[in-house]
Homo-oligomer: A and B are copies of this chain.
Amino acid sequence: MRCVHHAGYLLGQHKCRVRHDRREGRRPDRRGVSVETPLTDALVEQLARYRPERLPAGAWDVARQCVLDWCAVTLRGAVEPAARLLREECLPGRRNDGGPCCVAGTGARTDAVTAALLNGTASHVLDYDDVSIRMLGHPTVVVWSAVFAQAQALGCSGEQALAAFIAGYEAAAMIGVLLGPSHYEAGFHATATIGALAAAAAGALLMDLPPERMRCALGLAGAQAAGLKSMFGTMAKPFQVGRAAAAGVLAARLAQRGYSADAAVFDDPQGFVAVLGRSQLPPSAWPWCPEPGAEIPRNLFKYHALCLLTHSTVEATRSALAAHGVRAQDVAHVDVHVTPRHLGVCNIQDPHTGLESKFSLRHAVALALAGAPTGNPDFFTDGNALRPDLVALRAKVRVVGDIPGPETSVELVTHAGGRFSAAHDAEAPATDLAAQGRRIAEKFHAVVDPLLGQAAAHELEGAVAALRSAPDLSALAGILGKEKAA
């Protein structure tokens, strides 16, 4: 069905004479024939399947890992100017305005929408948060920022919050698959666009909205879905993420109040998928709905405060050193083999700034050889980009784009002529969730201990571990909301 377009068409409020029958999720077409809205139906039905009793243990484990990782990057991000300036704008002179929601890293409490905006922005400032390859984005900073705020405002239990988070996480993955890579390739910032809908889905589940209201929540999120990749490298990138979290919260809350919206935002010929996604929609049902809880274990965490595409190189270099007992000073040169697509992203030959040093495969090898604290975001200063020992080490590195996959292979050649190889794929999900948990805890303490002190950091870790049995989110919020950030 194609609408008639004309300059004057915008001049009325009617939508091509097509009105939705919002209760049935169907609409009459121009001739009054009822047509189906299968995509929106499918997602709404899928979301109804996210009941706590249906979710597997691994989903709960990874959800808690996501929350712990979020606590670390949000508390640390809250100190940065992009987070501070936004707080100064949004909370002028009312650091404790009596709202129900904590602003992480500060003593401020505010309403759910503002808290989601501020926490969502802070959590993505470092770009050190987790990743969903299916979403082509960062799910937790949007979805948990929204759920955390909403759950406090509603007085939800920890289990309700975690279950809604798992649903929102997997909704983001599902919407990512539906849109396909062309959405991101066209220049949309998928974390922000898809994130708004995923956050709305999670928020609507927390409110236990009926299907017809869930549709409107998704529509109201689609009405707000924005974000451009041209903002990458500026404060507007995390701002877009915070906006998406806030949009999701506002969408769910307005939908609960009876606000109307396009109730078939995935199907409408001028809706979210048609306008922001690829033009060719799948013909009928949603292309992919996982078993609830089956997708979140595929989440990718970042352990190095570097571009993720350099992570395989860091890990492979470390493996080659450790497995073969090679010392850094014995290394004469290093060959790095990556997929050619990485060369345009993170192959800066001689980085001069802290930011550039995060996008240099050669520098990544130098960091691994030198045993540098790659998990510490404070390490990536301009000074360390030019530290003489690191510059000398990276001079030994040659990068070749000659392998197909995401797995990166590193070969160390010693002065004695020995050749020692290792490979790693940082885009492969962890198979050992316990080991993953230990690495996240290590990152957490490296980031949070200097901010809160060891005792409070330990307390926060415990609150996350106990989240599923917590009656509400006040314990978590109490520690996150201790006055700290400047």
Contacts and interface: CB of A to CB of B under 8 A. Distances in A.
A357 to B, nearest CB: 11
Contact of A359 (B14, B82, B185, B343): B14
A343 B8 CA distance: 12
A308 B233 CA distance: 44
A85 B260 CA distance: 10
A259 B4 CA distance: 41
A262 B228 contact: yes
Contacts of A271: 187, 228, 230
23 contacts: A5-B185, A6-B341, A8-B345, A8-B406, A10-B190, A10-B191, A11-B309, A12-B306, A12-B345, A12-B346, A13-B237, A14-B307, A14-B345, A17-B348, A82-B259, A219-B231, A222-B228, A226-B226, A230-B268, A230-B269, A230-B272, A230-B274, A235-B261
A458 interface: no
A225 to B, nearest CB: 5
Nearest to A275: B187
Interface in A122-155: 127, 131, 133, 136-138
Given A4-B341, A89-B253, A187-B271, A233 B14 contact: yes
Contacts of A348: 17
Given A12-B346, A14-B355, A188-B275, A239 B220 contact: yes
A314 to B, nearest CB: 13
A186 B253 CA distance: 29
A228 to B, nearest CB: 6
Contacts of A224: 226, 240, 243
A379 interface: no
A427 interface: yes
> Which interface residue of A10, A250, A302 has the most chain B CB atoms within 10 A?
A10
Q: How many copies does the complex hold?
A: 2
A427 B8 contact: yes
A265 B345 contact: no
Given A187-B269, A345-B8, A259 B239 contact: yes
Interface string A75-105: 0000001100110110010000000000000
A3 B233 CA distance: 14
A455 interface: no
A449 to B, nearest CB: 24
B258 A85 contact: yes
A264 B275 CA distance: 23
Given A223-B239, A261-B231, A271-B187, A342 B14 contact: no
A406 B7 CA distance: 10
A7 B133 contact: yes
A110 B220 CA distance: 23
Contacts of A265: 228, 230
A236 B219 contact: yes
A358 interface: yes
A52 interface: no
A13 B223 contact: no
A14 B358 contact: yes
A11 B307 contact: yes
A370 to B, nearest CB: 21
A272 B228 contact: yes
Contact of A8 (B190, B227, B308): B308
A234 interface: yes
Given A11-B131, A85-B259, A225-B226, A19 B345 contact: no
A106 to B, nearest CB: 17
A15 B219 CA distance: 30
Nearest to A347: B17
Given A10-B131, A89-B253, A226 B223 contact: yes
Given A4-B345, A250-B89, A308-B12, A275 B220 contact: no
A281 B239 CA distance: 27
Contact of A15 (B86, B229, B239, B270): B229
A236 B257 contact: no
Contacts of A10: 131, 136-138, 184, 190-191
A154 B65 CA distance: 45
